[in-house]
Structure 1
């Protein structure tokens, strides 16, 4: 997403997360373009594996970090409406991402995918991709911009370090 500017180390880290998620979902969208199920070659398996990893990271580490450390600060500053919207979107996206991840891992374990499972995967992934991209756009424009208003330098550095440590 062009035009990103947070002014905070925490926002920069979250932006990097968003870019990673968008990259994985974009690659998944390309893999899922054919109407017929493909042979699961090494390249397709790599995209599916990366998507499963990113989905896990997004709905556990990324969402939890925002909900625990950022949403309360932003709500306390008076932006309760934005926090409610983002939290509601997390609540909608989380089960979709968990379900899609489980289906992807099942496909990877089986090593093949049938017509019905392929169409189901395409449908579920398409819905998740649309919701996730829209959600990321909101966070890039709203949440990341708000961080510069609610975090002082000390809090920002501490939160950026905490986010980094959680990622290992």
Structure 2
């Protein structure tokens, strides 16, 4: 199997993993492994994977959400754009993450990425939801507690994932990038 097919298969696996973990955690608001799966897809597959995996997984999740499909177009678009930010962040910072030999620094760096991208994601999606209701500021303010939980969880998970990602990269790299 050539490396392009392996990368396509890996993208499908990342999308499936993101969806499976998200469905498993559906009962807990703003606590999910979806975002970190998209981030890791960007690290392992670069910009292509950082865009394709969130686009595929996000579209499926929005249409087949356990809480019901997203029926407000602007909110769905904001969610997809936000999901893509996680994957693109992984692609942008992949060299720094994978080349880092100090896991404590790497964990803090990944945690910071998780918090910052989650903050931007929550602002964009809450603003889109507020715009659709004609009440941007009240929706953003009322979502602060949920956003803090989301940012805290993602900071923790992104940081804890760093050592595992670096180790798995050593195994995955030959399969994903050698002909």
Q: TM-score, normalised by structure 1?
A: 0.32
Relative contact order (C-alpha < 8 Å, sep 6+): which is higher? Answer: 1
Q: TM-score, normalised by structure 2?
A: 0.31
- Larger Rg belongs to: 1
